[in-house]
Amino acid sequence: MPLVSHNDLPTFNRLRQNGQTILQPTRASQQDIRELHIGLLNMMPDAALEATERQFFQLVGESNPIAQFYVHPFTLDELPRGEKARAHIDKFYEPFDKIREDGLDALIITGANVTHPDLAQEPFWEPLSDVVNWAHENVTSTICSCLATHAVLQHSHKQKRQPLGFKRWGVYPHRVIHRTHPLVHDVNTRFDVPHSRFNHISRNQFEAAGLHVLVESEAAGVHLATSRDGFRVIFFQGHPEYETISLLKEFKREVLRYATGARRDYPPFPDNYFLSREQAILNEFRLRLDNALGNDSALPELPEHLITGHLDNTWHDTAEGIIGNWMGLVYQITHRERKLPFMDGIDPDNPLGLDL
């Protein structure tokens, strides 16, 4: 069912322009349809703040026909912000104190940029831990994305992420290995997922923590896992929320870092993303860029316009299906008053009644 534009967040207009149905609050109030309130703890850096916001709003808004979705973005004050991002947050985001007071049906926690090998040394560690602890007691289900998965595995299960020694970057094939779980009901048994990370949690670590692995890749490792009860916490290591051009934008940022001397080597192509035609165009661009750098002349622009129309998206439909299943399950076991299901006698160790 559609998102409800309950404030003036520009993301609503952007999604509306892209053809997604967005309800005005006055129209939403006239419909006899249940509301679901989903928090989005957006910890991404300034350059990706609004894009990440849009990606998750889009996935939630397209996911399920049975509810009206109110998505409440918030962030952590301890994360460094520039003036523009701070103004956006001050105008459109909600403080965590208000989120905590009003309550949520579900929560999504995004990734973040880090500067320490040990996540416990990051300035956001304590406030993030507070959110995670609160959600465990007060929110029916929480999705952790990428870095958030690593943080929660360390915080709640004492499993620290391990460095890969390289950047796992690209689009990778995955297989559903626990096909009876309702989160993966009626989705493709094989599908792609983008990844972008330098560290990982191995399958052995997920299993040592007592978690259930649902989706895995031979090349990229575990993508989707759940908490011991099968639902209260859901872990993504990949980025199913990515738009078609997200990896192109990341590649462009790395090229700009190379051009400005912030990185020594020219970035490799993301795996399984650019086809041969696009690789040839980008290889030609690299020659022109290196020539300009060597001659101290004007730098050429990366020819995005020749690339974007030829990129394939092989993950969004499955991501939408999984989020739709998640929203349906949240809807089934959450009260209108957003009380946790075990308050009415549902088994807190297995709220879905799964054969785990």
Catalytic residue ranges: 146, 239, 241
Find the radius of gyration of the CA atoms of the chain.
21
d(CA 153, CA 205): 9
For residues 343 and 261, is the Cβ–Cβ distance under 8 A?
Answer: no
**Secondary structure of 192-243 in the HEC alphabet?**
EEEEEEEEECCHHHHHHCCCEEEEEECCCEEEEEECCCCCCEEEECCCCCCC
d(CA 112, CA 103): 24
Work out the burial of residue 97: count CB atoms within 10 Å of its CB; fewer than 13 is exposed, 13-18 middle, 19 or more buried. exposed
For residues 75 and 131, is the Cβ–Cβ distance under 8 A?
Answer: no
Report CA-CA distances (Å) from 37 to 12, 49, 58, 211, 244: 16, 20, 15, 26, 27
DSSP designation for 31? S
d(CA 197, CA 166): 8
Instruction: State the Cα angle at 327 between 91 and 354, rounded to 5°.
Output: 140
Count CB neighbours of 231 within 10 A.
24
